[in-house]
Amino acid sequence: MSARTVLVIPGRMFGPYSPLLFYAAWAARVRGAQVRNLHWTPPSDLDAAGRAEWVRGQVGPVLDEVTETGGPPLVIAKSLGSYAAPLAAERGLPAVWLTPLLREPEVVAALRRATAPYLLIGGTADPEAWDGQLARQLSPHVLEVDGADHGMFVPGPLAGSAAVLGQVATAVERFLDQVVWPV
């Protein structure tokens, strides 16, 4: 068995230790993966036109390093990190895309080109980023949570959002066990 490696790519607001990314990475870690967390601070003046290029510049060198030391990684990315989809597609990397930017043409085009399997996770209360119908056209591996926003929070007591986090963790575990690293 080759070494299992994971590259965790954060979103704009929270780093790799935010609950969604942490639990997804932990699922890989307990399956023997070495986890590499990418840390970044996006420029405050980063506009829509520059996002894809900026993310590519941040992620590309780290992907090269991770691949050189541990083999082709599984990519786990949140939101802004989904601009790394072209890199994952070019390199044939499996991925977990948490609240991917499915309204961004370059992200969707990359997902359409991808040859490796990927899991898409989003919520119905995130219309600026999530499109459940498109997600199901792009991949057979989709978790769509009714009422969840871009942070995968649902209205009401926090216990409901914690339950969503549990759903996300379970979907990631199943994807890893059944698709990426079948047992």
Q: What's the chain's average pLDDT?
A: 95
Residue closest to 171 by CA, chosen among 102, 119, 112: 119
CB-based contacts of 109, cutoff 8 Å, min separation 6: 86
What pLDDT digit, counting tens, does each position of 105-133 carry?
Answer: 999 999 999 999 999 999 999 999 999 99
Beta-bridge partner residues of 122: 144
**Domain count for the chain:** 1
Check residue 135 and give its pLDDT.
98
CATH code for position 46: 3.40.50.1820
Check residue 2 and give its pLDDT.
53
Domain, as residue range, for 22: 5-180
Please tell me the distance from the alpha carbon of residue 24 to that of residue 115, in angstroms, as a whole number. Answer: 21
Residue 73 has pLDDT above 90, yes or no: yes
CB-based contacts of 92, cutoff 8 Å, min separation 6: 72, 114, 115, 116
Instruction: For residues 3-14, give the mean pLDDT.
Output: 92
How many other CB atoms are found less than 10 A from the CB of residue 134? 15
Tell me how many degrees the CA angle 86-91-56 measures, rounded to the nearest 5: 40
Check residue 85 and give its pLDDT.
98
Residue 60 has pLDDT above 50, yes or no: yes
Residue 1 has pLDDT above 50, yes or no: no
What pLDDT digit, counting tens, does each position of 127-149 carry?
Answer: 999 999 999 999 999 999 999 99
Instruction: For residues 5-23, give the mean pLDDT.
Output: 94
